[in-house]
């Protein structure tokens, strides 16, 4: 007996979810390996001839577009280790928050890919793949048009430490300060718990107010301003090695980071940023520390870094790009004003109050 349309769609859905789950598992395995690989690269002493893990560095952070460098110093290795613990904790928190990843994947077999939005951990991974894939497309178009992009240069250990620091401090400065504080102010008439919750996840300020009202508009305007500022600072702030061609890619990345921050929370934005900066390059530094393969080599690449690049561009990254496009088109076709993914599960279904 031939399968009917409904059965055919279900088979297609099962296959698609299965492929996505396999690519997700492979990517998560690579992410897990970058933790010990990064630690080895920093503490082995083989990554740099000018700096070591004991070299004192000045911690810094951002207040919007303003960089603040602290007078105190800490060993580079201690700063790296502390940040690594923070990122690992955020990943674990995302995996245990709200709907667990396996539960979200199971739900997607019944109700479609929109259900994966109930897992902040999966959203982290999808956002990493989506930004990496789209950033590559934007950069290729920019380069083809003749606009210079520039690039990062410098001592390997110094560069790697910068890529490790930037996700946390930049998300604090460009997302929490420029968007979260606005959401907090909009919640000043509510309880302190709701106000602090809006600082962590600005969409909390939108709960209990009229759809399409001023609160939502103000938060999304702040998100747009944050994204433009984020893109501009990549070009003009702090003696950047980037050229004007970096602006469109960085500003677009700021839009995605701002969106996941507003909808899911600070930790999701931080890990998304960390995935693009640290995960996207950690094995290149590991390859230099172990095998002497230059981290910025354009011709010869460490095999592990090759796997990461291939995964984020042609496998998981492409799947994430297609998934986001599918959900967006699905929303427009259905003319549904709500988000195509269930960002905040109904009460009693694993929602976590923050």
What is 101-167 written as a DSSP string?
HHHHHHHHHHH-GGGGGG-HHHHHHHHHHHHHHHHHHHHHHHHHTT---B---S-HHHHHHHHHHHH
Angle at 184 between CA 182 and CA 190, to 5 degrees: 135
Does any domain span residue 353? no
Does any domain span residue 340? no
Q: Total domain count for the chain?
A: 1
Nearest alpha-carbon partner for 48 in 158, 203, 153: 158
Cβ pair 171, 266 in contact under 8 A:
yes
- pLDDT tens for the chain, residues 1 to 354: 455 666 778 888 999 999 999 999 999 999 999 999 999 999 999 999 999 999 999 999 999 999 999 999 999 999 999 999 999 999 999 999 878 999 999 999 988 888 988 999 999 999 999 999 999 999 999 999 999 999 888 999 999 999 999 999 999 999 999 999 999 999 988 899 999 999 999 999 998 765 556 899 999 999 999 999 999 999 998 666 899 999 999 999 999 999 999 999 999 999 999 999 999 999 999 999 999 999 998 788 899 999 999 999 999 999 999 999 999 888 777 754 444 443 333 323 333 333
For residue 330, what pLDDT is reported? 84
Query: What residue numbers bound the domain in which 185 lies?
Result: 10-334
Does any domain span residue 224? yes
* Prediction pTM value: 0.92
Cβ pair 282, 295 in contact under 8 A:
no
HSE toward the beta carbon, residue 106, CA cutoff 13 A: 5
HSE toward the beta carbon, residue 68, CA cutoff 13 A: 10
Does any domain span residue 339? no
Does any domain span residue 343? no
For residue 347, what pLDDT is reported? 29
Query: CA-CA distance, 64 to 169, in Å (whole number)?
Result: 10
Classify residue 54 by its DSSP letter: T
Does any domain span residue 347? no
For residue 36, what pLDDT is reported? 98
Does any domain span residue 351? no
Does any domain span residue 242? yes
């Amino acid at each position: 007996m031939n399968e009917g349309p409904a059965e055919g769609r279900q088979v297609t859905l099962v296959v698609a979810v299965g492929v996505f789950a396999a690519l997700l598992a492979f990517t998560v395995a690579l992410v897990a390996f970058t933790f010990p690989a990064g630690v080895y690269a920093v503490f082995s002493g083989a990554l740099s001839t000018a700096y070591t893990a004991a070299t004192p560095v000045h911690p810094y952070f951002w207040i919007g577009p303003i960089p603040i460098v602290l007078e105190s110093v800490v060993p580079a290795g201690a700063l790296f280790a502390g940040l690594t613990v923070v990122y690992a904790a955020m990943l674990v928190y995302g995996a245990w928050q709200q709907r667990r990843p396996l539960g979200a994947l199971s739900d997607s077999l019944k109700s479609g890919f929109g259900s994966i939005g109930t897992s902040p951990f999966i959203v982290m991974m999808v956002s990493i793949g989506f930004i990496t894939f789209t950033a590559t497309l934007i950069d290729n178009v920019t380069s083809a048009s003749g606009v210079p992009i520039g690039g990062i240069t410098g001592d390997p250990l110094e560069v790697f430490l910068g890529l490790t620091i930037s996700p946390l401090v930049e998300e604090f400065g460009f997302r929490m300060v420029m968007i979260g504080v606005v959401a907090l102010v909009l919640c000043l008439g509510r309880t302190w718990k709701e106000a602090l919750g809006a600082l962590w996840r600005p969409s909390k300020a939108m709960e209990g107010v009229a759809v399409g009202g001023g609160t939502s508009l103000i938060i999304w305007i702040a998100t747009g301003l944050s994204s433009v500022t984020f893109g501009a600072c990549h070009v003009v702030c702090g003696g950047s090695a980037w050229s004007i061609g970096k602006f469109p890619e960085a500003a677009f990345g700021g839009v995605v980071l701002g969106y996941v921050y507003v909808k899911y929370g600070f930790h999701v934005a931080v890990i998304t940023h960390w995935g693009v900066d640290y995960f996207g390059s950690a094995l290149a530094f590991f390859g230099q520390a172990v095998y002497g393969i230059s981290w910025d080599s354009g011709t010869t690449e460490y095999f592990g870094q090759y796997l990461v690049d291939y995964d984020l561009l042609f496998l998981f990254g492409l799947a994430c790009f297609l998934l986001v496009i599918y959900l967006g088109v699905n929303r427009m076709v259905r003319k549904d004003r709500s988000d195509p993914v269930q960002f905040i599960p109904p009460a009693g279904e694993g929602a976590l109050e923050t």
